[in-house]
A and B are shown apart, each in its own frame.
Chain A
C-alpha cells in the first residue's frame, strides 16, 4: 500500500521569497515520487521526478525537491517565488513495481504568491 500526505492545503508567500511545499509519503516498495503543477484551466504538468538516482532532483522553473528516505519526505522548494508560480501543486507516489493504477496523488497544495 502507498499513500502521500501534503501537509499544507494552502501556502502563501511574497514574491521573491522562498517556497516550501511539504510532502510525506508511505510506500511498501522503494517509491518513485513526482511533483505536478496545475495552473487554472490548464492540464497538470510534471515539475520533476525522483526515480532512484540522485536524491536532490531539479525540475523546471527553478523548482527542486529532495528525497529523504529517513524522513519519508519529498518536499518541493524554490529559492525565490514568482507571480507565475501561483498554482496548485500535487505530490505523487508510485510503487516501483506497480502499474499505472499505483499512482497515488496527494490532495494538493494551493500556492498563492503575493506582490
Chain B
C-alpha cells in the first residue's frame, strides 16, 4: 500500500478483556515499531522488529503486552486483561533498517485509539 495502515481506527473495550491491534507496514520495510501515545504526552516506545532478528521488547510496560510479526509483513499488538491505564493511541511505524549512525525515516500509521471502560 501507499502507507502504513492500522486497524481498527478506534476500539472501545471493557476492563479485563483482551484486544488485538493490527499494523500493515509499507511493503519492503524491514523495520517495524509500536509506540503508545497517552493523552497530552509524547510517544513511548513499546517494541521493535527488524527482519528475522529477535525483537527488542524493552519498552513493553508489562507482561500483558505482547506483539508478533511474521517475516516482514503484518504485525499484531495484543493487550491481555486490559486496564483503564491502557487507554491511549497506539501507533505503528515502519522503515528501512536503521542502525548505528544511519537513520531511515519512520513512516507512521494513523494509530488505533483504545478506550478501556
Which A residues fall within an 8 A CB radius of B?
A: 9, 32, 36, 41-46, 49, 51, 90, 94, 96-97, 99-101, 103-108
The 9 closest A-B pairs by CB, nearest first: A105-B42, A43-B108, A44-B108, A105-B43, A100-B48, A107-B42, A43-B110, A46-B105, A106-B42
Question: Separation in Å of the B98 CB from the closest CB of chain A?
Answer: 6
CB-based contact A49/B103 at 8 Å: yes
Question: Separation in Å of the A29 CB from the closest CB of chain B?
Answer: 10
Question: How far apart sit A87 and B45, CA to CA, in the bound complex (Å)?
Answer: 22
Question: How far apart sit A103 and B41, CA to CA, in the bound complex (Å)?
Answer: 15
Residues on A with C-beta less than 8 A from B41 are: 107-108
Name 18 extra pairs, CB < 8 A, besides A45-B108, A46-B105, A107-B41: A9-B40, A41-B110, A43-B110, A43-B111, A46-B106, A49-B105, A90-B42, A94-B103, A99-B48, A99-B98, A100-B50, A101-B56, A101-B58, A103-B106, A105-B42, A105-B44, A108-B40, A108-B41
Contact of B3 among A43, A97, A108 (CB under 8 A): A43
- Total contacts A-B at CB 8 Å: 58
Contact with A along B79-99 (1 / 0, CB 8 A): 000000000000101000011
Tell me whether B67 is interfacial, beta carbon within 8 Å.
no
Which B residues fall within an 8 A CB radius of A?
A: 3-4, 31, 33, 40-45, 48, 50, 56, 58-59, 91, 93, 98-101, 103, 105-111
Secondary structure at chain B's binding surface: helix, strand, loop or mixed?
Answer: loop
CB-based contact B45/A101 at 8 Å: yes
Residues on B with C-beta less than 8 A from A90 are: 42-43
Secondary structure at chain A's binding surface: helix, strand, loop or mixed?
Answer: mixed
Question: How far apart sit A104 and B110, CA to CA, in the bound complex (Å)?
Answer: 19
CB-based contact A44/B91 at 8 Å: yes
CB-based contact A100/B101 at 8 Å: no
Given A101-B56, A107-B40, also A43-B91 (CB < 8 A): yes
Residues on B with C-beta less than 8 A from A108 are: 40-42
